[in-house]
């Protein structure tokens, strides 16, 4: 037990020193799992409270991030196609092509990182809508107690998945930072800025899980309907 506390202290000290190599080394210990669970639940609870007191953020945060990421990806790809084909169609060679029409080397490497952000933020959004781990058709025929038990199992499964992703994703982000990995085709755009979106997204996902479970528990106590049909692309 003492080793765990010592390891947690090393992680905190490494972050306080802002030393990416020390952070990467400290996160490789078993203490990262304990500290990861603590921060996951604490962060999820804090975000849930922010959602409760700031409804605008609760309704729009994830959808705004997804739309902005998607439009940015589409814009980069669209302009990249113009850069690759328009000069040839106009009979230009590289020497007389304007600088802004010459292909940028990062147009094929940056969109996958933005897609990473969009995907996992979207996962949090779909947990909010209950379109993941729903099984609504099967569960509507069950009694209220089994329904509540299965909803609780769903919450525990999501927290378990998120725990694994937060710890391992943080390790990958720290490793990328300690090795100064940049997005290919750029000079100073760091990969860990985008990789960090994965563990952060799962903290937001846990906030949605907690939010849903408390709503389910209140519905169970009050006798309201527990299971409703989820619609992909719908809203609550």
For 10, residues 6+ apart whose C-beta sits below 8 A from its C-beta are 22, 26, 29, 31
| pLDDT beyond 90 at 133 | no
Domain interval for residue 26 = 2-222
**Which pair of tokens denotes residue 199?**
């563990």
pTM of this structure: 0.87
The answer to whether residues 176 and 197 touch, using CB atoms and an 8 Å cutoff, is no
pLDDT number for residue 186: 87
* CA–CA gap between residue 42 and residue 125 (Å, rounded): 20
The answer to whether position 175 is within a domain reads yes
The answer to whether position 64 is within a domain reads yes
Indicate the SS3 state at residue 182. Answer: strand
* CA–CA gap between residue 201 and residue 223 (Å, rounded): 33
* Number of domains present in the structure of the chain: 1
The answer to whether position 30 is within a domain reads yes
Would you mind telling me the total number of residues written for the chain in this entry?
A: 236
pLDDT tens digit sequence for 20-70:
899 999 999 899 999 999 999 999 999 999 999 999 999 999 999 999 999
The answer to whether position 11 is within a domain reads yes
> What is the DSSP secondary structure assignment for residue 190, as one 8-state letter?
B
The answer to whether position 125 is within a domain reads yes
The answer to whether position 230 is within a domain reads no
Q: What's the pLDDT band for 236 if we cut at 50, 70, 90?
A: very low
- Tokens 């009979």, residue located: 91
The answer to whether position 229 is within a domain reads no
The answer to whether position 83 is within a domain reads yes
């Amino acid at each position: 037990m003492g080793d765990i506390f010592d390891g947690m202290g090393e992680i905190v000290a490494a972050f306080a020193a802002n030393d990416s190599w020390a952070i990467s080394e400290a996160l490789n210990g078993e203490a990262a799992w304990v500290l990861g669970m603590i921060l996951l639940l604490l962060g999820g609870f804090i975000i849930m409270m922010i959602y409760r007191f700031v409804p605008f953020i609760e309704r729009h945060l994830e959808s705004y991030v997804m739309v902005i990421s998607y439009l940015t990806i589409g814009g980069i790809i669209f302009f990249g196609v113009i850069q690759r084909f328009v000069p040839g169609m106009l009979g230009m060679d590289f020497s007389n092509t304007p600088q802004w029409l010459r292909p940028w080397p990062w147009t094929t490497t940056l969109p996958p990182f933005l897609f990473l952000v969009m995907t996992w933020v979207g996962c949090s959004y779909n947990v909010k809508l209950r379109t993941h781990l729903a099984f609504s058709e099967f569960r509507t025929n069950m009694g209220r107690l089994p329904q509540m038990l299965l909803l609780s199992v769903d919450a525990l499964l999501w927290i378990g998945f998120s725990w694994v992703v937060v710890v391992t994703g943080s390790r990958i982000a720290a490793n990328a930072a300690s090795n100064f990995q940049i997005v290919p085709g750029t000079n100073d755009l760091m990969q860990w800025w985008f990789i960090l979106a994965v563990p952060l997204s799962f903290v937001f996902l846990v906030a949605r899980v907690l939010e849903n479970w408390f709503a389910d528990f209140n519905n169970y106590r009050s006798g309201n309907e527990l299971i409703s049909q989820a619609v992909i692309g719908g809203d609550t």
